[in-house]
Amino acid sequence: MDNDKLQAGFVRNRRFLIAASLGLAFTNLLGIQFKQVSILGNSADIPHPEQVDWILWVIWAWSFAQYVVWYRDVGAWIDFRSAVSDACAKHLGELAAGRPLPQWLSDQLAGELRVPLKQSPYSDLLSKIQFHSRFSSIDGDGNKKGRVANVLTHAYVRLPEQRGQLTSSDTRIEVEISDVDWRKYSRIATVRILLTSRFLLEYFAPFLIGSFPVWIAIYRRCLVHG
């Protein structure tokens, strides 16, 4: 099944769960009993209205089961964990890129610019060499292999009279990311993504709404036997 059809089916079953849950919840909360049914203009009395509740519970259970199946089919949990992982990688990778450069790296990159600068009219720019680092990717999963941030760094110097800049080649270094830092920011990223993205409303809120009938049934039972 292609992704569009998968998402459309997921949306239908999410709506089905929400409608069935809210309908059952309000029916139980207000103590509504169905004493008559109308089909194609024909009406009939319901001799045992209390038995309609069992039908409503069956519909609710079916809608809940359907939502769980489609939730798994669309990979909702995998998408959420991937979003958290990407947020951790970006944050910790950018922190890694902001760390001071090792002395050997700054010497190596600056050395690439010294020769062309000395051979040009801009030898006075030797003292103005700057460095730029950017996060590239994360290697490792923290289990079989420790995580490291791949950081690309180059040296550059801006030339006068809008002549652009002289740039060295990119050099990749690996900056280790501790499991403690990853777990710490993973918790922060989880909360942020839940509060600022679609995951809470689209994927997780229907489970909460789907639990309403159960909590209301427990509440009414407590009132009766309390």
- Taking only the tens place, the pLDDT of each residue in 164-214 is 888 999 999 999 999 999 999 999 999 999 999 999 999 999 999 999 999
Same domain, 16 and 94: no
User: 183: which 2 tokens?
Assistant: 């777990």
Distance from chain centroid for Cα 173: 28
Same domain, 91 and 173: yes
Asked whether residue 187 is assigned to any structural domain, the reply reads: no
pLDDT at 34: 52
Out of 108-117, 154-163, 173-182, the most confident range is: 173-182
Is residue 42's pLDDT more than 60?
no
pLDDT band at 47 (very low <50, low <70, confident <90, very high): low
CA distance 43 to 49: 15
The whole model's pTM is what? 0.78
Same domain, 61 and 94: no
Same domain, 17 and 65: yes
Asked whether residue 189 is assigned to any structural domain, the reply reads: no
Same domain, 23 and 62: yes
Other beta carbons less than 10 A from residue 129's beta carbon:
20
pLDDT band at 83 (very low <50, low <70, confident <90, very high): very high
pLDDT at 1: 59
Local structure of 140: helix, strand or coil: coil
- Quote the number of domains for the chain: 2
Asked whether residue 107 is assigned to any structural domain, the reply reads: yes
Asked whether residue 17 is assigned to any structural domain, the reply reads: yes
Q: How far is CA 150 from CA 90, 132, 139, 176, in A?
A: 11, 14, 7, 9
Same domain, 7 and 93: no
Asked whether residue 192 is assigned to any structural domain, the reply reads: no
Q: How far is CA 121 from CA 2, 141, 157, 167, 180, in A?
A: 61, 49, 14, 16, 50
Same domain, 109 and 129: yes
pLDDT band at 28 (very low <50, low <70, confident <90, very high): confident
CA distance 113 to 171: 14
User: 84: which 2 tokens?
Assistant: 């958290």
Asked whether residue 22 is assigned to any structural domain, the reply reads: yes
Lowest mean pLDDT among 95-109, 136-150, 210-224: 210-224
Asked whether residue 183 is assigned to any structural domain, the reply reads: no
Is residue 76's pLDDT more than 80?
yes
**C-alpha dihedral sign at 210, 212, 213, 215:** positive
Average pLDDT value for the chain = 86
Same domain, 68 and 113: no
Same domain, 162 and 127: yes
Residue 90 lies in domain: 82-177
Q: How far is CA 99 from CA 95, 107, 135, in A?
A: 7, 16, 11
Same domain, 209 and 134: no
CA distance 170 to 177: 21
Same domain, 170 and 211: no
pLDDT band at 117 (very low <50, low <70, confident <90, very high): confident
∠ CA 98-104-105, rounded to 5°: 45
pLDDT at 155: 94
Same domain, 95 and 141: yes
Asked whether residue 191 is assigned to any structural domain, the reply reads: no
pLDDT at 55: 82
What's the DSSP call for residue 203? I
